[in-house]
Amino acid sequence: MSIQETIEKQVKNAVTQVYKITLEQVEFQPTRKDFEGDITLVTFPMLRQIKTNPVQLGQAIGDYLVENVPEVVRFNVVQGFLNIVLSDKYFLSSFFEIKNQKEYGRYEITENSKTIMVEYSSPNTNKPLHLGHVRNNLLGYSVAEILKASGNKVYKTQIINDRGIHICKSMLAWKRFGNGETPETTGLKGDKLVGNYYVKFDQEYKKEISGLIAEGKSEEEAKAQAPILIEAQEMLIKWEAGDPEVISLWKKMNQWVYEGFEKTYNALGVDFDKNYYESETYLLGKEVVEQGLKKGVFFKKEDGSVWIDLTAEGLDEKIVLRSDGTAVYMTQDIGTAIQRVKDFDIDGMVYTVGNEQDYHFKVLFLILKKLGFNWSNYLYHLSYGMVDLPEGKMKSREGTVVDADDLIEQMRDTAKTISEELGKLEGYSEEEKEELYKIIGLGALKYYILKVDPKKRILFNPEESVDFQGNTGPFIQYTYARIQSILRKSGFDYTQELTIDQGYNLHEKEKGLIKQLQLYPETVQLAAGNHSPALIANYTYDLVKEFNAFYQNVTILGTEEIEEKKFRVQLSDSVGKVIKSAFQLLGIQVPERM
C-alpha cells in the first residue's frame, strides 16, 4: 500500500470516528512550494458531508493522522488545505526501494498484458523523408517504447505507400529525363534521387499547363489534359494490369527508396517489427465490404458505388467502394486493420498520423465497430500538429521541404559549433568528438520535438534546440554527464549497502530529489495512458532542475561523513539512472562525459 493509500484510509477512519460519517471521496494534491508539507489533503469537498469549518476539520484529521500514521510527523492547516509533513525515515526507506530496483519505473509484461501495435512513419516512395516525417517517427517510436515500459507487449509497424499516381509521376519523370542515372552513378541516396524526379514531374506539368492555357484552355481543362499527367495515369493503369516493363521499373525505383529510408531510420534511431506495403494491402477490405453489404452495414447507390451512412453519429455518408468496384483508402485501411489483428493477435492499435486525418480515423474506427470488431474500441489515433519553420510551410512538390537527412546533419553541425564555442571538449579524440556531436545534435532535435504536447503545432528552431541551458536535450544530457563525473571522482565503492542511521536528517534538497524520483513510475503510466512523450520529457527536465538545486546547495563529495557521502553519491547515481531510462523512452542517448 502506498503512503497516499495509507493516508486516504486513515483520513476516512478519522472522519468516521470524529464525525460519525462515511466519507465518499478523498482528494490530494502536491503541496504548494510556499508551504511546509509533502502531500496536501483538500478538505473543502468534505464540507458537503460534514457540517463544520475547514480549519477545524483539517485540525481534527491532522491530529488523528499524527497519532495513527507513523510516517506523518506534523501538519499545518491553511484554510481548506491540510499540509502533511512525512518523516525523513519514510523518504529514506522509499529511496532504498528505488535504488534497489533494477528497472525502476518500468513494468514487466505479464499474462494479463495487452498487445498493442503502433504504426508510424508510413511514407510514400516518391520522395525522401522530411521534417514532418521526423516528428511522426519520433512520436511513434517513443510512444511504442513508453507503452512497452508501462507493461504492454508492443509491435512497431509502418505501411509503405508504394503505389498510386504519385509514384507513377516519379517513375515517368525518371523514364523521360533520367538518362539511366542511378544512386550509384550520381552518389545520391536513392530516396533523394527519386524525390528529385517527383519535383521534376511537377515542373514539367506546370510548363504544359501554362502552354495549354496560352492556347485558350481553361486552367481546369489544362490541368486535366496535360500530356505528362495523362501518361502518368496510363502508367498507373498498366501497373494495375501487371505490365512487366512498368512493374520492373517500379520495383527498381522503390528498392532505391527503401535503401535510402533505411539509412535515415538508422540515423534517427527508429526501427520496425513489420512493414506492410500498400501494393499488397490495397485490395484488402473489398471482401469485408461485400460482407458488410449483406449485413446491412453498407448500402449501394444507383451507380453501383458502396457507402456507409454515419449521419446518425454526426458524421457524413462515406464511400467504401467506387462504382467501378475499385477500393478507396478507407477500404484498404479496414482490410489492413483486420489483417494486422490476424497477424499479431493484437488487442489495440495506435495510428501515428497528422491531425489533417482526424476525420478519416473517426470514420474508420466507427466502421470497424459497426462491422462487429470489438477490438475497435482499443484503436487510437495519435493525432499530431504540423511542424513549421521560421521560413514558413513546406511543400513536397515544389521541393521546399526540409530533408530529414539534411536536418540530422545540420543538428550535428550546430552541436559542433556550440560545443567548440563553449570549449568543453579538452582531451577528446576526433572520433570521440564526432560521436558526441551526433549524440548532442540528435538529442536536441528529439527533445525539442517530443517535449511539446503531440496535438500542438511546432515552430522548429534548430539553434534554439541546441542550448546548454533551459528546457533542452543538451541541458539534460550535460546534467547526466555531470552525475557520471561525480561517480568517477567518488573514489570508493558507492554501490555498497548504506548503514546510514535511521535518525539521519535529510536536507530539504535531498528530500526534494527523492520526491521527484518517486513520481517516475506514475509518470510512465500517465504518459502511456495519454500517448504523450511530452510528459516524460518535462518530468525529466523537472528532475534535472531538482538535481541541480541539490548539487548547488549540498556538499556531495566534500562532506567528511563517509555514510553521508555514500548516500549522496547513491542518490546522484539513482537520478542518473532515471534520466537515462526516461531518455531511452524518448529514443535519446546520454553521453558519459561532455
Above 80 in pLDDT, residue 56? Answer: yes
Secondary-structure class of domain 3-86 per CATH: alpha beta
Chain length of the chain: 594
CA distance linking residue 98 with residue 105, whole number of Å: 9
H or E stretch covering 419: helix 404-422
Above 80 in pLDDT, residue 345? Answer: yes
Residues 6+ apart with CB under 8 A from 14: 60, 61, 64, 65, 68
* Torsion angle in degrees (nearest 10) through CA of 450, 456, 457, 462: -30
Higher pLDDT, 217 or 468: 217
Predicted pLDDT of residue 467: 80
Q: Region 332-344: what's the mean pLDDT? A: 95
Please name the amino acid found at residue 310: L
Q: Tens of pLDDT along 201-257?
A: 999 999 999 999 999 999 999 999 999 999 999 999 999 899 999 999 999 999 999
DSSP string, 190-234: HHHHHHHHHHHHHHHHHHHHHHHHHTT--HHHHHHH-HHHHHHHH
DSSP string, 163-189: -SHHHHHHHHHHHHH-TT--HHHH---
Q: Region 268-292: what's the mean pLDDT? A: 93
Q: Region 358-366: what's the mean pLDDT? A: 97
Predicted pLDDT of residue 13: 96
**What is the pTM for the complete model shown?**
0.92
**What residues does each domain of the chain span?**
3-86, 164-274, 404-585
Highest mean pLDDT among 325-334, 454-463, 521-530, 558-567: 521-530
Please name the amino acid found at residue 399: G
CA distance linking residue 153 with residue 187, whole number of Å: 41
What's the whole-number average pLDDT of the chain? 93
- Which CATH architecture group holds 404-585? Orthogonal Bundle (1.10)
Mode of pairing for the β-strands spanning 153-160 and 115-119: parallel
Share of the chain above pLDDT 90, in %: 84
Residues 6+ apart with CB under 8 A from 59: 77
325 φψ region: left (φ > 0), alpha (ψ -120 to 50), beta (else): left
By three-state DSSP, how is residue 215 classified? coil
Q: Tens of pLDDT along 313-324?
A: 999 999 999 998
Above 90 in pLDDT, residue 183? Answer: yes
Q: Region 361-365: what's the mean pLDDT? A: 97
Q: Are 154 and 274 in contact (CB under 8 A)?
A: no
pLDDT band at 468 (very low <50, low <70, confident <90, very high): confident
Q: Are 289 and 321 in contact (CB under 8 A)?
A: yes
Above 60 in pLDDT, residue 43? Answer: yes
Q: Are 65 and 14 in contact (CB under 8 A)?
A: yes
Q: Tens of pLDDT along 480-492?
A: 999 999 999 998 8
CA distance linking residue 224 with residue 274, whole number of Å: 38
CA distance linking residue 427 with residue 392, whole number of Å: 41
Q: Tens of pLDDT along 284-329?
A: 899 999 999 999 999 999 999 999 999 999 999 999 999 988 889 9
Q: Region 356-363: what's the mean pLDDT? A: 97
Q: Region 120-136: what's the mean pLDDT? A: 93
